[in-house]
Amino acid sequence: MMPTESEPVQSDIHMRDRAATRPDTKHSEETNQTSSPLMAASSDLKGNYDVFLSFRGTDVRKSFLSHFYAALAQKGIHSYVDSEELRKGDCIKPALMKAIEESCIAIIIFSEDYASSPWCLEEVEKIMECKEQRGLTVLPVFYKVDPREVRTPRGNYRKAMVKHENKFGRDLEKVKRWEKALLDAGSLSGWEFKDKDEAEADLIKRIVQEISMQLDRTPLHVAKHPVGIPRQVVKLKSMLNLESRDDVLMIGLWGQGGIGKTTLAKALYNDIFRGFEAPCFLANVRETSKDSKDLVHLQEKLLSELVRKDLTVSSVDGGINLIQQRLCRKRVLLVLDDVDDVKQLNALAGGREWFGKGSRIIITTRDNHLLTVHGIDEDHIYEVKTLWYREALELFNKHAFLRSEEIVIRRDLVDSALHYANGLPLALEVLGSFLCGRREQEWESALNKLAKSPDKTINGVLKLSYDGLEDYAKEIFLDIACFFKGRSIEYIIEVLNSCDFDTTIGVQVLVEKSLITKEWRKVQMHDLIQLMGMDIVKQECCDDPGRRSRLWLCEDVRDVLSGDMGTNAVKAIVLALPKTEAIYIGPNAFTNMRRLRLLIMINVHNSFQGPICLPNELRWFEWPECPWFPEFSSCPNKLVGLDLRKTNIQVVREQFKAFGNLKYLKFSKCPSVVCIPDLNLTPNLKELDLHGCKNLERAHESVAYHAKLQLLNLKGCSNLHQLPNVLQSKNLEILNLTGCSKLQIFPDIPDKIEGLKELYLKGTSIEELPTSIENLVSLENLSLIDCKKLANLPSTIYKLPNLESLILHGCSKLIKFPKEGDFSVLHGKTGFPKLQILGLEGCNLQEVEFLENNSCFPYLTVLFLSKNNFAKLPTCRQLHKLRALFVSECRQLQAIGKMPEQLEGLMADDCESLTSSVGQSNPYLANS
C-alpha cells in the first residue's frame, strides 16, 4: 500500500449516554496504516526475501550472476532470482512485482544490454517506487558499464531508449518513467566493475559483505499501536533536512515522561536509518550511565554499532578521542535516547566535528535546557506534545477494546478515562489495557480510585523528572502542584519568593524539565503530573494529614485545624473553596505548626471570634473576609505578604509595629479603611493595594517619600480627597488613582523621579497638573480620561522623554492643547520623542495648532481628535509614522490639510461642515 499522510480520523466507536453498545475500532486500524512502513514494528520490512536480483538474463545469468548468487547462498542470504519462464513476454508478471515488494534489498545489475529489455525497465521502475514508498534499500552494480551511460542515458542505453520510444509511441509516459527510474538508480552509490580493475570474485566478496551488514540492521519495534506518530515523523524529517549532505545536524526531542519521545525517535530512526552509512540507536542513556564506568560501556557500545568492531575503551576521555577518530569520516545516524545529563552528551556526541558530513544526531530528553547547553537552537528542538483528541480516542480504543469482546460501556465512562489520561500516550495505553475486558461497574470503581491516587506505573515514569530536581525546585514544584496550578506566574513568584525561594529560576527549570508549562502568563501542568505531585505529599504520611508538608483538601484542613492536629511537618495550608463555608479554627490550631510558611484561606468563614496566634515563620497570610487581624507568637514576625481584602478590620498604626519584613499589603475593598496607614513601620513595602476602599479619605505622609514602594493602587477610592503635598517616592513605578472622584490636587514633584512609568488619573477632579510633571522622566503611560475639571495642561508636559501614550478623552474643559513654544524655559531637544498614541477625543478643542510643529511627534502612530470644535486640521505631512487619524463628529471642521502618504485610516464621519480637503486624494478618507 502506498503510504500517505493524513489527519487522525474519529474512530468508529459507537458509545451511548445510557444505551449500550460495543465499540468497533476497525476504521481506526485502517487509518493507522497511513504510517511509513519503517514506522511500526519490523514486520513491515521483513519480506520473504533478503535480496531481489534484477538483471538482463542473456548478459550475466551464466557468469557474474551465478557466482554472485552462490556467494549469497553461502552466507545464508535468501535471494530471489526469477526463472526463464517468468521472463517471456513484455509485461512484468505479478509474481515478480510481489517479490520486489517482499524483499529487503534490491540489487540492480546494470549490464551492457540491460536497458534493451522492457522487462528490466519495468523492474527498475518498480524497485525505485518501492525505495521511495517504503524505504527499500537499492544497491546498483555497474557491470562493464559506465554509470553515466545509465543516468544520461548514452551509448547502448540511449539506443535502447530510442527503440522503446518508437515501439511505445502511444505510451510515451511509460518511457519517461523508465528514463526517470534509470536516472535515479544510476545516481545511487554502488559498485562499478571493469575487467582491468579487479577480479570478479573480489567484487562479489565486497558486495556480499555490504549486503550482510545491511541485513544486520533490523528496524526497531516501535509500538503495538503507533497512533499519532506518522504526522510527527513527517515534521521531524523536514527538520532533519536529509537532502543536505554538507552539514552535521543535531536535533532534540523534548517532552514530559510518558509522552512518547522514545516511540517517536524509534519511528523516525526506522524511517531513515537505511540511508546512512552507520546508524545506531542508543537506548536508555540515563538508566545505563549512572557513573563514568557506565559511560565507558556506552562509548564501547556506540563504537561497536557504528564501526562494526569491538573496541576497548579505557576511559571516558579515551573514548571521546576514539569516537572522533573513527567516525569523523562516516555519515552517521545516532539516536541518544533519554539523556538527562550534559556529561552524557559530552561523552557520546560532544561536537558536530566528531562525525562525517551528512550525519544526523537525535537526542531525546525531558530537559530542554540540556539541549540549549549543548548548542542546539530552538529551531531544532521539537516539543513532543500530548495526542490530539481523536488520536487519544483511537489509541485508547485499541488498548481497551478487543474485537472479540461483546462488552457494553457507557460513553461518559470512556470520556472520563480520556479526561484522566489527557492525551498522554503512556496513560492511554496503561489505562486502556487495565480496563480491557472489564464491565461498567469495574470501570466506575477504577476511575474513582484513580481520581484519588494515581496508577503506579504511570506515576513511576512521571516521578523520574521530579527525582532529578534540586531540593528548592522540588519545593516549588510541590507548591504549584498542590496549590497554584492555573495561577499567574507573577502571583506565584510573589508568594514563593516570600518563602526565600529563587522562584524565577525555579519555574524556568520546571518548564525545562517538562513538569510545568507557561500559558498566557499562567502556570499549567498535565493533570497526571499534578496528581503525581499531590501523591508525593500524601505519601509523607498516609494516615495523618497533620504530619504532611502541605494541606489543600477541605476535609484534611478541617480535621487538622479543628482538632489542633497540626505538627511541625506542616509547611503550607491553601484552601480555596468554591463558596463560603464555615470551618472551626480554635486559638491553638497553629501552635504546633512552627514551620508554617503559607496560609491562604479563600471562602473560609471562621466561627471563632478572637484573634488566632500564628507561627512566627509565616511568610504569606491571605484570608479575604478574615474577621480578625493576625497576631504572632513572637515579634518581630517574618511576614512578607498580607492580604486581608474585603474585611471589616479597623486598621490602626499599632498593628504594623512588628511588620518590618512586609512587602505586599492588600486591603482592597475594606469599608473600614479611612486612612492609608503609616508606612514608616513597613520600610520594605513594595506594593500597597487599597483599591475599592470607598471610605478612604486621606493618605499618610509616609506615602510621599517611601523608599521602596513600587505600586500604589487607590483605584475606586471615591472619597479620597487628600494626598501629600509632594511626591518623592523614588522607586514608585505605578500610581493608580482612577475613580478617585473627589481628588482635586495632584502633588508637586520637586525632584526627578526615575521610577514612575504608569500614572492613571481617570475620573478624578484634578483641575490642572503641576508644571513639575516634567520630573517624571520615566513616565510611559499617562491617563487623564474623563477629568471633567481639567482646563489646562502645562507646557512642561513636552519634557516627558519616555511618554508613549497620553490619553485625555472626555476632558470637556480642555479647550487648548499646549504648544511647545508656549514657554521659554525649554532648552535643547524637547517634544515627545517616543509618543505613539495621543487621545484627545471629546475635549472641546477650539484649535489644534500644536500639530503644526510636526517635529514634536516623530513616532506618533494613532491620533484621536473626534468630537472636538476646531475648524481646520493643519497639514500633517511630516508625521511619518502616523497610521490612523480620527476626526469623526468634528462638526465645525471645514478643511483637512495634507496627510502623510503612509496613512492607513482617516475617519471623518459626521463632519457636516467639511467642504474641502487638501488631502482628499487619500483613499482612506471616510467622509459621511
Q: For 384-443, give the secondary structure using H, E and C.
A: CCCCCHHHHHHHHHHHHCCCCCCCCCEHHHHHHHHHHHCCCHHHHHHHHHHHCCCCHHHH
Q: In 3D, which of 664, 719, 717, 723 has the Cα closest to residue 692?
A: 717
Which one has a higher pLDDT value, 41 or 764? 764
User: What are the contacts of 708-715 at 24+ separation with CB within 8 A?
Assistant: 708/683, 708/684, 709/679, 709/685, 710/686, 710/734, 710/755, 711/686, 711/687, 712/688, 712/736, 713/668, 713/687, 713/688, 713/689, 714/690, 714/740, 715/691, 715/739, 715/740, 715/760
Helices (H), 44-105: 57-60, 66-74, 94-101
Which one has a higher pLDDT value, 5 or 813? 813
Q: Within 13 Å and on the Cβ side, how many CA atoms surround 182?
A: 30
Residue 827's pLDDT is 46
Q: Is the pTM of this model over 0.85?
A: no
Q: Is the per-residue pLDDT at 85 higher than 90?
A: no
Residue 354 has phi, psi (to 5 degrees) of -70, -25
Query: Could you read off the pLDDT of 283-292 as tens digits, one per residue?
Result: 999 988 877 7
Rounded CA separation 603/579 (Å): 6
Which has the minimum average pLDDT: 29-43, 97-111, 129-143, 428-442?
29-43
At residue 205's C-alpha, the angle toward residues 201 and 211, to 5°, is: 140
Which one has a higher pLDDT value, 152 or 374? 374
Quote the cell numbers at residue 269.
530512526
Q: What is the mean pLDDT of residues 855-868?
A: 93
Query: Could you read off the pLDDT of 153-182 as tens digits, one per residue?
Result: 889 999 999 999 888 877 788 889 999 999
Instruction: Work out the mean pLDDT of the chain and round it to a whole number.
Output: 87
At residue 664's C-alpha, the angle toward residues 658 and 667, to 5°, is: 90
893 and 911 Cβ atoms separated by less than 8 Å: yes
Q: How many CB atoms lie within 10 A of CB 114?
A: 26
Residue 165's pLDDT is 87
Which one has a higher pLDDT value, 628 or 88? 628
155: burial class by Cβ within 10 Å (0-12, 13-18, 19+)?
middle
Q: Is the per-residue pLDDT at 15 higher than 60?
A: no
Query: Could you read off the pLDDT of 463-479 as tens digits, one per residue?
Result: 999 999 999 999 999 99
- Say which DSSP state 461 is in: H
Residue 32's pLDDT is 36
Query: Could you read off the pLDDT of 818-832 as tens digits, one per residue?
Result: 987 544 444 445 689
Indicate which residue of 5, 29, 112, 123 is catalytic.
123
Residue 12's pLDDT is 31
Q: Is 123 marked active-site?
A: yes
